[in-house]
Amino acid sequence: MGYCKNCGVALDENIDLCPLCGLNPDEESPSFEKIMLKETENTKSYPRFDRLTKKQRLTFFWELSGIILLSTIIITSLIDFIINKSITWSKYSITVSLVLLVNTTLFTFLRKRQFIFLIFSFLSTALLLMLFDWYSQNNGWAIQLGIPLLFSFYFWVFLIAIITKYNKHHGLNILAYYFLATGFFTLCIDGIIAFYQTKVFQLQWSIIVFACLILISGILLYIHYRLKKEIFLKRFFHI
């Protein structure tokens, strides 16, 4: 009776391949360390973009975008300074570049911690709006209009991200959730703009958009959960 060199079990004489590990009984599988070493060697000898890991690619993207944005800041401020002898119009490009840099940094290093990523992204963008407001006569539109709209946008994005993350079955249901979130976001836009203009919170056009989106979402959810995949309500909701 022979033995498999890989997993060490006894095999009948007429067996060519070990039914447990699928290898030739005389063949010893390379150890995990050897495989890893080989992988590392391969990576070292072929430092091509398509061989980089996702993390390496993101870091590469971050470095590249960092160089571009910092160059933009330096070049625009220099041109502005040379022409006008002070920083005038370039403050817009500097602010936008800095906020973009913050957001690409957040995306590269905190993309898995969605809550923190979105909070800091929101804060940086809100700061951008406030600075723009300040640059342009400071009439308060950022706090009364811009930031509430931005907040509602981030809120629905966050909710969608959470739902997508914890939903195992990604199909039409995700599309339905996107539609629903868009519907709610239109309500927010309508309400916030109305409040900014008239100091009264009233909804007009967004109700029609919302009703349409609700209908579409309902159909999509029905298709996903009832027609494509049956959910056994009794077990799902058992208490």
| Residues at the interface with another protein (CB under 8 A) | 1, 3-4, 6-12, 15, 18-21, 166, 168, 232, 235-239
d(CA 113, CA 41): 32
**In whole angstroms, how far apart are CA 222 and each of 2, 26, 175, 207, 210?**
58, 55, 12, 22, 18
Nearest approach in angstroms of CB 10 to another protein is 4
Q: Which residue, 23 or 214, is less far from another protein as judged by CB?
A: 23
Q: Which residue, 4 or 147, is less far from another protein as judged by CB?
A: 4
Q: Which residue, 100 or 163, is less far from another protein as judged by CB?
A: 163
Nearest approach in angstroms of CB 234 to another protein is 9
Residues in Cβ contact with 101 at an 8 Å cutoff, skipping those fewer than 6 apart: 65, 66, 69, 70
Closest CA to 49 of 35, 59, 38: 59
Nearest approach in angstroms of CB 183 to another protein is 23
Q: Which residue, 18 or 213, is less far from another protein as judged by CB?
A: 18
Residues in Cβ contact with 57 at an 8 Å cutoff, skipping those fewer than 6 apart: 49
Using CB atoms within 10 A of its CB, is residue 21 exposed (0-12), middle (13-18) or buried (19+)? Answer: middle
Nearest approach in angstroms of CB 154 to another protein is 21
Write phi, then psi, for 232 (nearest 5 degrees).
-85, 105
Q: Which residue, 6 or 65, is less far from another protein as judged by CB?
A: 6
d(CA 174, CA 178): 6
Q: Which residue, 46 or 166, is less far from another protein as judged by CB?
A: 166
Nearest approach in angstroms of CB 193 to another protein is 34
AA letter at 43? T
Nearest approach in angstroms of CB 118 to another protein is 18
